[in-house]
Amino acid sequence: MKLKPLFNNVIVKPLKDEKVTESGIILPDTVDKEKPEKGEIIAVGSGKVLENGQVSKMSVKVGDQVMFKKYSPDEVKVDGQDYLVLSESDIIAIIE
């Protein structure tokens, strides 16, 4: 199955940060139950429809790594893979 976001929505694959203690122990992502705040964009919608009927251009593109608001995305699972669906306005930064 393939996901295609509509309008100003994007599909993001969450990036998980490995946490390592000072002694070198790697903590699994299950230690921190918070939702991810970073991800890689895998699909982008066509853009937001403005009041005058025109479509505004998206400011992010496929492949961008982004930071987003913690509780804004909707979680979906497709073919065993977790993805996040969020609005472009919930993206707070592009990681360069």
Strand partners, 78: 81
Predicted local distance difference test score (pLDDT) of residue 65: 95
Domain that holds residue 40: 9-95
What CATH code is carried by the domain that includes residue 52? 2.30.33.40
Q: How much is the pTM? A: 0.76
Three-state SS sequence of the chain: CCCCCCCCEEEEEECCCCEECCCCCEECCCCCCCCCCEEEEEEECCCCECCCCCECCCCCCCCCEEEECCCCCEEEEECCEEEEEEEHHHEEEEEC
pLDDT at residue 72, rounded to an integer: 84
Q: Is residue 63 part of a domain?
A: yes
> pLDDT-derived band of residue 71, with 50, 70 and 90 as boundaries?
confident
Each residue's pLDDT tens digit, 72-94? 888 999 998 899 999 999 999 99
Classify residue 3: in a domain, yes or no. no
Q: Is residue 34 part of a domain?
A: yes
